[in-house]
Amino acid sequence: MLRSSIASLVALSVACSSSHQEAAAGTGGSGGGGACWDVASACPSSPPYEGSPCDLPGTCSYPPHPYEYSCPAGRWAATCMANADGQTCVPPFGESCASPSSTPLSDAIIEIGAGDSATAFAPLADGAKVDVIWGGQGSPMVAFRVRVTGSGVGDCALVAHKLALGPYQGAEYKTAVRLHCGESLVVYDILPIDQACPNPPVPSDVTLTVKVFGKEQSLKLDWANAACPKGGGFG
């Protein structure tokens, strides 16, 4: 399996840019057949993907990686262990894959889910509240998940996604996303707040657009606490 961070997401765009038992059974899609997820029963050799299924007590650490991982409710959860010496935690790695497919599928249905890896996939509706994640270098990000159902859905999709903040349009990124029977873990996108902050007030309406397998889905979301970053980093 491959890893992608928000930094590699930007590079890829330039270059191209429940319980663990529920997870193991899989939901949606037709990718792969058999069990949709591997359930970890011991600390893996490298940091796990947040939200993937597990079944073990205690915690797993990977110094100097600043996160500690535990397995509440059968899913990996990451806790930032940054110290007070200026170390920060960028969002944990997202799960990527090799050879992503963008082949159109006529019967594909896309759902956009909340970016909470600790729970089962939950589709978002128009008007849903969205939390903004501030990265280690001040980049504002929105986390989301995708689920694709239909015939011919494989385990590696090229997902095109972009965010708009009111009238301000973000770049479209293309990310290779691993699907487990059609369902992804968390994907990150950058909110174009650098355009909005020189011109306050900051809009609260966010539009997330996702394209996969030739189909497009958009959601209108609400960033209730819209604000420029502390310190005035964007003017």
Domain extents for the chain? 2-222
What is the model's pLDDT at position 24? 28
Predicted TM-score (pTM) of this structure:
0.80
> Which residue type sits at 16?
C
For residue 207, pLDDT beyond 90 = yes
Q: How confident is the model at residue 26 (pLDDT cuts 50, 70, 90)?
A: very low
Of the ranges 31-40, 130-139, 158-167, which one carries the lowest mean pLDDT score?
A: 31-40
**Helix or strand run (H / E) with residue 195:** helix 193-196
Q: What is the mean pLDDT of residues 71-96?
A: 80
Does residue 178 contact residue 1 with C-beta atoms inside 8 Å?
yes
Cα–Cα distance list, 107 to 87, 104, 110, 146, 183 (Å): 47, 9, 10, 16, 16
What is the model's pLDDT at position 22? 28
Query: Using the 8-state DSSP alphabet, how is residue 115 labeled?
Result: S
Query: Rounded mean pLDDT of the chain?
Result: 82
Q: What is the mean pLDDT of residues 11-27?
A: 31
Does residue 166 contact residue 196 with C-beta atoms inside 8 Å?
yes
